[in-house]
Every structure is written in structure tokens, then in C-alpha cells.
């Protein structure tokens, strides 16, 4: 029994993994993951690598620059966005501080770990904190200056992630506009992004719109299942889901300030599988539909109605793991596609799948990370809500068999031959 069990487990794993890929992931062009770590029970980064690969992820967004994670993903080909926490903005205005931060948090991991972007702060402008707001652009400029000095500015961009709440109007999409009081500051940031060839990042949650107004907002529209959709009266463009309406509202807001060409990435979107009594819609079924349909829609490589080519749109789904130490309503701790032990938080087309086994041990692989929890990670260095993001790069020509099966096979071979 002792000898046979691991083998049986491998075959079970193989069947489950292939089932998973066929059911939900053969449809996805290219996935990136927001890897939030506000938790004390997550697997070690080494054990997260196969998990990220198992969902076909090619991009990971962090809320800090966790060296353990960046080392674990060396030579995996996965692209990283690293983050600088809101509390460091003031300090980063100093050129020497910025240079030493870039040296130890970015340069030290290149080129083995492909860091392509730094997000400076998270959702700063929506906080209405004037000192943070005032420090944002200088910190971005200072970090960009450090990248130039170190010769890294061609491979690493500098941006910041915004909340959709910086829009005063988001419906209809053609009326999208920034909050009046933020226009001067946003304009300066957009000038910086445009000059440095950096993307505009925005976090967009149709869930919040639904939760705030479940009687008015049709659930099928937010879950990508609307039979009729809505038409923008000004442009006559047809929207069959709310996320695309939100993205086009951001495009309209940018265009209204004269920035028609900036790439826009959705740095966070997602749906919680659990919430408090007053958080209508936070269920495993809705989370499965939202994230599953999101992947399908993006795999069709259609852009939004306003930018139908969809060429440069990346979407990062929040989040990789449920994060047990996040404050706020119950939903905040339940955005993960996965539980901390690597099993799905809800059915994404598989059951009992568990890939986060400790493959570095000499003994038989554990089928789940149980046992004593790992030590509590250092306090999060960002005020992020900690999301796993799935980034879809629809522009890339792509062979599903290769992108999904090669990592999958590699993993299986790895498991089989180590034991």
C-alpha cells in the first residue's frame, strides 16, 4: 500500500489536471496571476510555481517585491509586475533611495526573473489623502530615473494601479470621465505614462456595482451571460457584459483628456466566492461563472466595443489564493481561485485537484499542504486588497496544446521521476 499509493496518486493527478485544462483552460490565451500574500497559511513560493503553471499563467502581479517569490520563479519565463507599497512613496522621491530600491528589488533578479513593470502604490488617488497623492508622481519619476541610470528603462516600465472610483462617470461608457478634482493630477500622470511608454492600470470590479445595487443591476450582465446586453445611446455600441462597459468608460475618460493611445490593463478584476449577509452575489457559483466566463471571453481575442482589436489589453484576475489575514468584509478574504492548500476554492471544472505538494521532500509527495502552517509572512508592504490576477494577452499567436500541456506534462514528469 505504501508503495502503490503514490503511484495511484500520480495517475489521479494526471487525470485531474488534464481534465482541468480541457474543461476550462484550453480556452485561455495567456494567463497572469495576482499573487497576494496577506495570509499566514500560504504554501512556499517554490510550491506555488507549479500551481501558477497549472493554470497556464504567464504573468504574475505582486503587491511587493518578495525576494523568495522572485527567486522561486527564476527561469520559468513568467513575467512579473512588482509593487511598491503606498508607505514608501515619500522616501522614493529621493534619487538614491529609488536607485537602491531598484537595485535590490528589480535588478538583482534580472534577467532570470522577468520583471517588466513596477506599480508605484495601489489605488492612491481614490484614498483622498493629499500627501500620498502629492507624492505619487514624484515617486514614479524618481523610480523611472533610477531605471534609466541603471540602463533598465527599456525593459521595465513604471506605473500605478488605479481604482475605478477615480471615474466620476462610468455609464454609459462613452460618458466615462475622471473625477473633476483629480483631473490636474491624473493629467500629469498620463503625461508621464505616455512619455515613458507605460500602461495605464485600473482595477475594475463589476461585483461592487452589483453588490451596491442588486435590484437594478442584472446579474447576467455582470456575469457575462446577458442575452440582450445594453446599447450605449451615444455611440450605439452594444455591450454584453459590464466589465467591457467599465473598460470602455476608462478609454473614454482617457480620450477626454487627449490620451487615446495609452495601453490600458485591468490590473485587478474578480469575484468573491463568499461574503457577509449583506454582500449579495458572493457565492462560489457566481465566482465560477465570472472567472470562467471572463477567461472564455478573453480567449475569443475580441477587444472591447471601443477597441475591438483587443491587442494590448491584459486582464489580471483577483486572486490566486484566499487570503485569511485581509481586513474588511468576508468577501475580502475569499477572492481566491485557490485555497491555501492548493485545492480550488470552488469548482473550476475539476474536483480534488491538488498540485501544491511538497516536491522537494525525499518522501512520497503529500497530496496537500497540511501540517503546521508556515511562519507568518512579514507584514504586507502594500495596502493592497491582495489579488491574484489573470492576465490574458489575446494578441499572442498561441498553441493551446503547448502552452497548457507542456507545463502540465513537465509537472507530471517532475512528480513521477522524483519519487
**Active site members:** 123, 268
Q: What pairs with residue 161 in β-bridges?
A: 122, 201
Q: Which of 97, 225, 347, 358 binds ligand NAG (CB under 6 A)?
A: 358
Of the pair 246, 304, the CB lying nearest ligand NAG is at 246
Residue in the block written with cell 525525499: 362
* 360 touches ligand NAG by CB under 6 A: yes
* 309 touches ligand NAG by CB under 6 A: no
Q: Smallest distance, Å, CB 361 to ligand NAG?
A: 4
Closest CA to 270 of 366, 371, 186, 385: 385
Distance of CA 192 to the CA centre of its chain: 23
Of the pair 100, 128, the CB lying nearest ligand NAG is at 128
Query: Distance (Å, rounded) from C-alpha 42 to C-alpha 324?
Result: 9
Q: How many of the other CB atoms lie within 10 Å of CB of 260?
A: 10
DSSP label of 316:
E
How many residues in the shown chain lie near ligand NAG by CB under 6 A?
A: 8
Window 112-171: residues binding ligand NAG (CB under 6 A): 127-128
* 361 touches ligand NAG by CB under 6 A: yes
Query: Distance (Å, rounded) from C-alpha 129 to C-alpha 120?
Result: 15
Candidates 68-76, 144-152, 322-330, 354-362; binding stretch for ligand NAG (CB under 6 A):
354-362
* 384 touches ligand NAG by CB under 6 A: no
Element (H, E) at 284: helix 284-299
Query: Distance (Å, rounded) from C-alpha 253 to C-alpha 355?
Result: 42
Binding to ligand NAG by CB under 6 A, coded x per residue (else -) over 44-63, reads x--x----------------
Of the pair 47, 142, the CB lying nearest ligand NAG is at 47
Q: How many of the other CB atoms lie within 10 Å of CB of 257?
A: 15
Candidates 40-48, 138-146, 293-301, 303-311; binding stretch for ligand NAG (CB under 6 A):
40-48
SS (H, E, C) 67-129: HHHHHHCCCCCCEEEEEECHHHHHHHCCHHHHHHHHHHHCHHHCCCCEEEEEEEEECCHHHCC
Of the pair 182, 317, the CB lying nearest ligand NAG is at 182
Give, in degrees to the nearest 5, the angle at Cα 120 between 117 and 124. 140
Candidates 6-14, 39-47, 343-351, 407-415; binding stretch for ligand NAG (CB under 6 A):
39-47
Candidates 33-41, 148-156, 245-253, 353-361; binding stretch for ligand NAG (CB under 6 A):
353-361
* 283 touches ligand NAG by CB under 6 A: no
* 228 touches ligand NAG by CB under 6 A: no
DSSP label of 396:
S
Q: Which residues bind ligand NAG (CB under 6 A)?
A: 43-44, 47, 127-128, 358, 360-361
Amino acid at each position: 500500500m505504501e508503495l502503490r499509493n503514490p503511484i495511484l496518486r500520480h495517475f489521479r493527478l494526471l487525470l485531474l489536471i488534464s481534465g482541468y485544462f480541457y474543461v476550462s483552460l484550453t480556452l485561455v490565451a495567456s494567463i497572469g496571476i495576482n499573487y497576494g500574500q496577506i495570509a499566514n497559511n500560504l504554501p512556499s513560493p517554490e510550491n506555488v510555481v507549479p500551481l501558477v503553471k497549472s493554470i497556464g499563467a504567464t504573468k504574475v502581479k505582486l503587491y511587493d517585491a518578495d525576494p523568495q517569490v522572485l527567486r522561486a520563479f527564476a527561469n520559468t519565463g513568467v513575467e512579473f509586475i512588482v509593487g511598491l507599497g503606498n508607505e514608501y512613496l515619500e522616501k522614493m522621491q529621493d534619487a538614491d533611495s529609488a536607485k537602491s530600491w531598484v537595485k535590490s528589488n528589480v535588478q538583482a533578479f534580472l534577467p532570470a526573473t522577468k520583471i517588466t513593470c513596477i506599480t508605484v502604490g495601489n489605488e492612491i488617488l481614490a484614498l483622498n489623502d493629499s500627501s500620498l497623492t502629492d507624492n505619487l508622481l514624484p515617486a514614479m519619476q524618481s523610480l523611472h530615473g533610477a531605471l534609466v541610470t541603471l540602463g533598465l528603462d527599456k525593459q521595465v516600465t513604471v506605473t500605478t494601479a488605479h481604482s475605478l472610483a477615480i471615474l466620476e462617470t462610468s455609464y454609459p461608457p462613452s460618458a466615462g470621465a475622471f473625477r473633476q478634482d483629480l483631473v490636474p493630477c491624473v493629467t500629469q500622470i498620463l503625461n508621464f505614462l505616455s512619455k515613458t511608454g507605460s500602461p495605464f492600470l485600473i482595477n475594475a470590479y463589476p461585483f461592487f456595482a452589483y453588490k451596491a445595487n442588486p435590484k437594478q443591476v442584472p446579474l447576467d450582465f455582470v456575469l457575462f451571460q446577458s442575452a440582450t446586453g445594453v446599447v450605449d445611446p451615444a455611440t450605439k455600441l452594444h455591450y454584453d457584459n459590464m466589465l467591457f462597459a467599465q473598460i470602455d468608460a476608462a478609454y473614454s475618460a482617457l480620450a477626454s483628456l487627449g490620451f487615446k493611445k495609452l495601453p490600458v490593463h485591468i490590473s485587478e478584476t474578480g469575484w468573491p466566492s463568499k461574503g457577509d449577509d449583506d454582500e449579495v452575489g458572493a457565492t462560489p457559483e457566481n465566482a465560477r461563472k465570472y472567472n470562467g466566463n471572463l477567461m472564455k471571453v478573453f480567449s475569443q481575442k475580441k477587444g472591447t466595443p471601443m477597441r475591438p482589436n483587443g491587442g494590448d489589453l491584459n486582464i489580471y484576475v483577483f486572486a490566486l489564493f484566499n487570503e485569511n489575514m485581509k481586513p474588511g468584509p468576508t468577501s475580502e478574504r475569499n477572492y481566491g481561485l485557490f485555497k491555501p492548500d492548493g485545492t480550488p476554492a470552488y469548482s473550476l471544472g475539476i474536483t480534488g485537484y491538488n498540485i501544491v505538494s511538497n516536491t522537494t521532500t525525499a518522501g512520497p509527495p503529500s497530496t496537500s499542504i497540511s501540517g503546521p502552517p508556515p511562519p507568518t509572512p512579514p507584514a504586507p508592504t502594500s495596502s493592497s486588497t491582495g489579488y491574484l490576477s489573470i492576465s490574458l494577452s489575446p494578441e499572442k499567436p498561441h498553441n493551446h496544446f503547448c502552452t497548457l500541456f507542456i507545463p502540465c506534462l513537465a509537472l507530471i514528469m517532475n512528480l513521477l521521476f522524483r519519487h
